[in-house]
Amino acid sequence: MIKITIVDRNGKRANLEIPTDINLSLMEILKAAEYDILATCGGIALCATCLVQVLKGTENLPQPGGQELDMLDTLPNADLNSRLSCQLRINKEMDGMIFQIAAEH
């Protein structure tokens, strides 16, 4: 199991345990866990409503691709730890990471 911690918009923390063989993005996991996250475009890095802030473990994630960078660039308050959760595939390297759901922008 891959264990990650999610901090919601109110600061509430919860641990999620995700099976290693699940082929989903972090956005899909967050939606399944009923977090208040929009994902307007359905997960193709075109709306940035699935934005998360990586609080721990940024170094474990692959660099954002071109499309994700395009979107992150347009956000006024994004920084190096901001990522689009629809572009983050769940994998073993995420174990122990902490993600915060970004404030609605």
Partner 1 sequence: MITTDICIVGAGPVGLFAVFEAGLLKMRCHLVDVLTQVGGQLSEIYPHKPIYDIPGYPEIKAQELVDKLMEQIKPFNPGFSLGARVETISREPDGSLVIRTNDHTEIHCQVLVIAGGLGCFEPRKPDIDRLIEFEGKGVAYMIKEPELFRNKEIVLAGGGDSALDWTIFLANSAAKVTLVHRGDTFRGAPHSVEKVFELAKAGKIDLILQSNVMGLNGEEHLQSVSIAARDNVLTTIPANHFIPLFGLSPKLGPIAEWGLMIDRSAIEVNTIDFSTNITRVYAIGDINTYPGKLKLILCGFHEAALMAQGAFKYVYPGKKLSFKYTTVYGAPAF
Rule CB under 8 A: which of 4-63 touch partner 1? 36, 38, 40-41, 44, 46-49
Handedness of CA 103, 94, 62, 40 (dihedral sign): negative
Main-chain dihedrals φ then ψ at residue 23, nearest 5 degrees: -105, 65
Size of the site for partner 1 (CB under 8 A): 19
- DSSP H helical segments within the chain, as ranges? 26-32, 66-74
If one asks whether residue 75 binds partner 1 (CB under 8 A), the answer comes out as yes
Q: What share of the chain is helix, strand, coil (3-state, %, to 5)?
A: 25, 25, 50
Closer of 33 and 38 to partner 1 (Cβ): 38
Q: Which of 9, 14, 33, 70 binds partner 1 (CB under 8 A)?
A: 70
Q: Which residues bind partner 1 (CB under 8 A)?
A: 36, 38, 40-41, 44, 46-49, 66, 69-70, 73-77, 104-105
